[in-house]
Amino acid sequence: MKDRQKISFQALLLAFGTTLLVGGLWMAGALDRWENTTWDWRVRSLAASGATADIKDESPICLILLDQYSLDWGQETNGWSWPWPREVYTTIIDFCVRGGARSLSFDVLFTEPSVYGVWDDQALGEAIAASGVFVGAAFVPVSTDAAGKITLPISEVKDNCLALANVSDVPDADGVFRRATLWVDGSDGQRMLSMGAAASLIGEDTEQVRKVLDSGPARRILNFRTPEEFWPIYNAAEVVQSDLRLMEGGTPSLDPAVVKDKHVLFALSAPGLMDLRPTPLSRVSPGVTIHATALENLLNDSFITEPAAGVVLVVISIMSFLATGMLLLGGKLWRTILTIVIFISLPSALGLLAARGGVWWPVVPGTLGHGGALAGALVIAWATEGKQKRFIRQAFRHYLSPDVIQRIMDDPDSLKLGGERRELTIMFSDLEGFTPMSEGLEPQELTQLLNEYLTDMTDIILESGGTLDKYEGDAIIAFWNAPVDQPDHALRACGAAVLCQRKLTERRAEFQERFGATMRMRIGLNSGPVIVGNMGSTQRFDYTVLGDAANLAARLEGANKVFGTYLMISDATREAVDSQMMFRELGDLRVVGRKQSVRVFELEGFAGETEPEHWPDYRSALDLCKQGQLSAAKKAMSQLQKDTQDTQGDPAAGKWLERLQNENDGFDPIWNLTRK
């Protein structure tokens, strides 16, 4: 295992450093613009969450908007230019009183006398006084300290309304209204409530709302809902027409009962009337939606809250520590990518989840904190572990399969003494007549020949997923199914052995021409349990195999001489690839050092390829040998040799015939080898 103490220290240092840096930027407000953008996205994602027709009908709030349609209707039907006669507003007030509205707030500043004369203002004042639920608008510039000069409405409004409320507020630094100032304290010590706060104190829930007002700061984060999804909205033209019809004894298009027990807010929303404000939901929201949202949040105690900065920074530190620790522990590339994706996405997921619960959890500080820590971890990994991995890959790519190299890189601690018992397929190969061949070549020629030969063979072995154990001069030792699992290890080994023989056949003429060397290779394959692992001293060791199955593979390579063959496999290997390769039985061998005989086969190619024409005759002759029918066996083997003279004979049949000619009664079909 890796040095976990060192990794923990590095991860802790990175987490603390990035959190300190990001925390400083965040507290200084340098991240606000980006954080506000992510919050607006969360607001839009959740604004209509849970909205239903029943919720809208049962909402304690409704809006009456003087929109563009209402402006056009007033001009076309009644010839009203802007501003409308204030007498028109009396019909809206009367409509709401008829319907039993709990409160009626006018988000309109009547600061100048009516252009239609004093009588127009008087009519409005009388309607306000008669309503008993009217909240008028005043303008109190909001600042960080005391309020500025108050702009009050005309006396007909100020003296007759139930309450005056402030309709002024300030947006965030980027100009978007995400918060509402619920009250301001004037220089005279008088507190002026916002329109939403003033309206909330009219009705049965006054005591509960006062607790909400008194339990937090004046400036709160608004919990926005899509207005058209949550609140009934009516246009001024419809309300005016309905009230006029009621006064005439007719049937209104809109029943006043729609405002019963509701807090009604009236405002201007036509684009030309310049009462549009940017909010997280829209850059052109009617300003009254800010007051209505504050009102709803007060009634439901549903303002957005913010976690303490210290809590946020602690969470960022912990997550950054975990992220960098996992990255520095290393592993496969997909694990590294997955770690990066998870921890970069985590702040956004946490921010969205928290928003559902009414909490503004900062996304940008967490994302930057995690990203910075991960970037630092990648640099450290590249400078240390990456350097080590590049060295290992470069140093061993010629000797080990990619799987072995990856295992070492994933866990350098695997480079220690010890082994495990596994079932492998082991290959031993050797060049025929290499010693006399080498004596006839110059050292440079011999080196060039061996390098080209070993490169060709090794490439095939490694491409099949084999592990190159070692070279011993011209000999190659390799195995399959370690260190990674390969259920088809026998098939991989057999396929590689066949391709090695075919590659050598392909280049034999070239080697003969260039080096004067006739290159033929003997291969032995066996499958069975062995001990595989790092064997040697604490200073130098090899990843190799030990065991009887490996010894038998080595014996089979040499046993090719007995039958004149070049690719011999054991019965265990043959059983594992029975229907997938092409082979023939050679006979039974008892190799040096083993009491038990083993059935051996010559491997020729892949299943589906055309086998030699004489193989069926050879199988029949071999059966005669096993049955002890010496005379018939000699005749069959002799005939087989004659029939295959055009193809230089069958070496295996020739070896059997030679032995049969020297045998008498008591013939033992098992070949007993006296040499390795």
Look at residue 146 in the predicted model and tell me its pLDDT.
Answer: 45
For residue 57, give the amino acid letter. Answer: D
What is the C-alpha to C-alpha distance for residues 266 and 253, in angstroms, rounded to an integer? Answer: 19
Per-position b or e across 356-369, b if 16+ CB within 10 A of its CB: eeeebbbbbbbbbb
For residue 674, CA distances in Å to 524, 555, 592 come to 17, 11, 6
CATH of domain 410-611: 3.30.70.1230
Angle in degrees, 0-180, between the axes of helices 364-381 and 32-46, rounded to the nearest 10: 120
Beta bridge partners of 139: 151
* Domain positions in the chain: 4-29+309-396, 60-300, 410-611, 612-676
List all residues 6 or more positions away from 561 whose beta carbon is below 8 Å from its beta carbon: 522
Beta bridge partners of 359: 305
In 201-283, where does DSSP find H-type helix? 206-214, 227-230, 236-247
284's tokens: 């052109």
- DSSP letter assigned to residue 412: G
251's tokens: 């049937």
- Which pLDDT tens digit goes with each residue over 251-310? 999 999 999 999 999 999 998 887 889 999 998 889 999 999 999 999 999 999 999 999
pTM: 0.62
- Our measurement of the distance from residue 68's CA atom to the centroid of its chain's CA atoms, rounded to an integer in Å, reads 48
What is the C-alpha to C-alpha distance for residues 12 and 380, in angstroms, rounded to an integer? Answer: 13
Question: What average pLDDT values come out for the chain (676 residues) when binned by 10 residues?
Answer: 74 90 94 95 84 75 95 93 95 96 96 94 96 95 64 95 94 94 81 92 80 87 90 95 92 94 95 88 91 94 94 94 85 83 94 94 95 88 69 62 67 64 96 88 93 95 92 94 91 98 96 94 97 79 88 95 96 95 96 90 96 93 92 91 73 91 82 82
The answer to whether 288 touches 177, Cβ cutoff 8 Å, is no
What is the C-alpha to C-alpha distance for residues 389 and 381, in angstroms, rounded to an integer? Answer: 10
Rounded to 5 degrees, what are φ and ψ at 493?
A: -65, -45
- Our measurement of the distance from residue 186's CA atom to the centroid of its chain's CA atoms, rounded to an integer in Å, reads 54
Rounded to 5 degrees, what are φ and ψ at 62?
A: -145, 160
Beta bridge partners of 542: 535
Closest listed residue to residue 98, CA positions, set 133, 49, 137: 133
Look at residue 498 in the predicted model and tell me its pLDDT.
Answer: 98
What is the C-alpha to C-alpha distance for residues 484 and 197, in angstroms, rounded to an integer? Answer: 70
Peptide bond into 443 cis (omega under 30): no
Closest listed residue to residue 265, CA positions, set 408, 77, 105: 105
Look at residue 1 in the predicted model and tell me its pLDDT.
Answer: 44
Which run of H or E residues covers position 245? helix 236-247
At residue 324, the 3 state secondary structure works out as helix
Beta bridge partners of 285: 277
What is the C-alpha to C-alpha distance for residues 658 and 676, in angstroms, rounded to an integer? Answer: 21
What is the C-alpha to C-alpha distance for residues 340 and 319, in angstroms, rounded to an integer? Answer: 12
369's tokens: 């904190």
